[in-house]
Structure 1
């Protein structure tokens, strides 16, 4: 039997608050459940540990380990669930728009392989998921490249901008005004989207909404960007809108309507290629760096301000993951309330199903 010692109980209950944090994030963020009150798990999880100690003292260690492992089980289930839902939605959208299905099929194959890894590798598949999450976050994309170069480029005055990749900042000025379709707002450019709403009600009467984009309309003609030194023409082909929030959003029946507006009052930051065209300088998509984006200056400054905190948070989560991995791969033996850690034999440890480790611990 694996029994928790009374001296260990306060520490494990404190550790239970960390487990409750991950439970809350997974259930609300990945399963879209509405916890009422939102902090309820911060009472339930430590209480389970305490009740296990007093009501089932001989099995109290098993109860704690089960609570800890449930974090990873819920995370993997949520990952597989969202992956399957995303693939099905992608197939429906690709079929509707008559696009090639091979990319969607590859995504489905990736989710299937991760599921197979979970079956054969057990808890070690967590490392694959963490690795894929990190790789996905750093894979080249317009948004990732935008913020990478934004941190390394200095903002140039429009009048003296050098040719090539550059960062400029100013306010948009329409050459030809656009009118948004839903609110008839006069603006420089807009993106108009319509989402299909799907509602599901669980056994407790809670309603879960999911959205699937069924229409996207972009009206972004060439415009000018002005600062206190001058103006430059922006060629909007391949221009990506980064971190723009909807200026209008409404739901009617089973549809959600949203408008993203580029007006002449908001200061924006742009990264792209400055290029001579005839006697004029234009700003356009950079074919070499595969980059052309704009974001509200306020959002960019906010992202730069909180980036160190974000990096610390990611570092902390990685440390927790490494410590958890160490716990999983370290051989342990329980003798009453005594827990003994043995030396790690990696060859032997990885030659069998990792789920057998828990059975070894309980023997």
Structure 2
């Protein structure tokens, strides 16, 4: 049989409070159930562990493992429920907006793949998710490439910029003025978006809003970028707006309206290709590096300032993930007040369900 030792009972009851926290979050946030009172599971879960110890001492270990495993079971059910609902909603939206069907199918397959990984790998799949999130944050993208080259390029004066990939900084000057559609603001360029608002209200009266972009209008004609040394013409084809905040935002009914404005006062930093066109120098999309972006200089300086802290945070998360993986993988057993770590057999460890570690722990 699988019996809990009396010395471990207080620890496991304390652990039961953590289980109750996850139960409460899953039931209230994912299943949208209303618990009365909201703290009831913080009494029920530790009580189940205690009653299991006193009423069914020989099976008390199995009762604890069942309570612990119920977190993952409820989580899987909730994710499957929301995943299926999300796929159905995606097909409806794709049919309504006439989007490519393959994108919807691909997203659905990705969700199914995650569920299969969770079923076969159990809690190890969380480490895979953490790994994928970190990898995604450093994989090539317009924003990542922009900041990578920004850290390695020196800012050139516009008058003396060398041909090829370059970084320049200055203020925009309109060749042809643009007028934003919602606020009628005269500017160099703008992006105008309309989002559809979906509101859901739970039993407690709390309202949750979600937004889905249904329209995007970009008006960005060629303009000049000026610094104290001179000016250069910017060809805006494939120009990426990076870290621009909405200059205007309002919600009316079930719609949210936002405007992103490029004005003549904000100093911006640009990375792209300097190129001779006739007798003039222009700045354009770099076909080799697949890069052409601009960002407010203030935001770029802020990102550079806090980058070391971000790297430390990522390092800390990796250490936590590695320590957690060590705890889950390493077989251990308790002898009285001592915790004994045994040698790791990776082949054997990954061939069985991760939750079986508790069998080793309570032996």
Indicate whether the TM-score tops 0.5.
yes
Distance in 1 (alpha carbons) for counterparts of 2:315 and 2:71: 19
SS in 1 for 2:123: helix
Deviates more, 1:115-124 or 1:76-85: 76-85
TM-superposed CA distance for 1:317, in Å, is 1.1
Distance in 2 (alpha carbons) for counterparts of 1:354 and 1:87: 29
Q: Are the counterparts in 1 of residues 61 and 362 from structure 2 also a CA contact under 8 Å?
A: no
Larger Rg: 2
- Unpaired segments of 5 or more residues in structure 1? 34-42
Q: Are the counterparts in 2 of residues 271 and 294 from structure 1 also a CA contact under 8 Å?
A: yes
Q: Which residue of 1 aligns with 2:255?
A: 255
Q: Which residue of 2 aligns with 1:38?
A: none
Measured against aligned partners, the alpha-carbon deviations of 1:211-238 in whole angstroms (never above 9, x if no partner) come to 0000000000000000000000000010
Structure 1 residues 71 and 217: alpha-carbon distance in aligned structure 2, compared to 1, 3 A threshold? farther
Q: Which residue of 1 aligns with 2:234?
A: 234
Q: Does 1:203 align with 2:203?
A: yes
Distance in 2 (alpha carbons) for counterparts of 1:4 and 1:192: 65
Structure 1 residues 257 and 86: alpha-carbon distance in aligned structure 2, compared to 1, 3 A threshold? farther
TM-superposed CA distance for 1:112, in Å, is 1.1
Structure 1 residues 172 and 74: alpha-carbon distance in aligned structure 2, compared to 1, 3 A threshold? farther
1:1-363 matched pairs, under 5 angstroms: 91-92=91-92, 94-362=94-362
TM-superposed CA distance for 1:311, in Å, is 0.5
Q: Which residue of 1 aligns with 2:36?
A: none
SS in 1 for 2:122: helix
Q: Which residue of 2 aligns with 1:36?
A: none
Structure 1 residues 254 and 3: alpha-carbon distance in aligned structure 2, compared to 1, 3 A threshold? farther
TM-superposed CA distance for 1:354, in Å, is 1.6
Structure 1 residues 124 and 195: alpha-carbon distance in aligned structure 2, compared to 1, 3 A threshold? same
Deviates more, 1:349-358 or 1:250-259: 349-358
- Unpaired segments of 5 or more residues in structure 2? 33-38, 55-59
Q: Are the counterparts in 2 of residues 157 and 229 from structure 1 also a CA contact under 8 Å?
A: yes
Structure 1 residues 62 and 230: alpha-carbon distance in aligned structure 2, compared to 1, 3 A threshold? farther
Structure 1 residues 87 and 184: alpha-carbon distance in aligned structure 2, compared to 1, 3 A threshold? farther
Structure 1 residues 280 and 63: alpha-carbon distance in aligned structure 2, compared to 1, 3 A threshold? farther
TM-superposed CA distance for 1:174, in Å, is 0.3
TM-superposed CA distance for 1:355, in Å, is 2.3
SS in 2 for 1:249: strand
Structure 1 residues 56 and 173: alpha-carbon distance in aligned structure 2, compared to 1, 3 A threshold? farther
Measured against aligned partners, the alpha-carbon deviations of 1:138-164 in whole angstroms (never above 9, x if no partner) come to 222111100000000000000000000
SS in 1 for 2:182: coil
Distance in 2 (alpha carbons) for counterparts of 1:305 and 1:251: 34
SS in 2 for 1:324: helix
Structure 1 residues 357 and 143: alpha-carbon distance in aligned structure 2, compared to 1, 3 A threshold? same
TM-superposed CA distance for 1:95, in Å, is 3.8
Q: Which residue of 1 aligns with 2:35?
A: none
CA RMSD of superposed structures (Å): 3.8
TM-superposed CA distance for 1:116, in Å, is 0.3
Distance in 1 (alpha carbons) for counterparts of 2:147 and 2:74: 32
Structure 1 residues 81 and 132: alpha-carbon distance in aligned structure 2, compared to 1, 3 A threshold? farther
Structure 1 residues 200 and 230: alpha-carbon distance in aligned structure 2, compared to 1, 3 A threshold? same
Q: Are the counterparts in 2 of residues 3 and 337 from structure 1 also a CA contact under 8 Å?
A: no
Distance in 1 (alpha carbons) for counterparts of 2:76 and 2:338: 31
Measured against aligned partners, the alpha-carbon deviations of 1:16-70 in whole angstroms (never above 9, x if no partner) come to 9xx89x98xx99xx97x9xxxxxxxxx999x98xx88xx8897999999999999
SS in 1 for 2:324: helix
Q: Are the counterparts in 2 of residues 234 and 284 from structure 1 also a CA contact under 8 Å?
A: yes
TM-superposed CA distance for 1:305, in Å, is 0.1
Segments of 4+ moved more than 6 angstroms: 3-6, 55-86
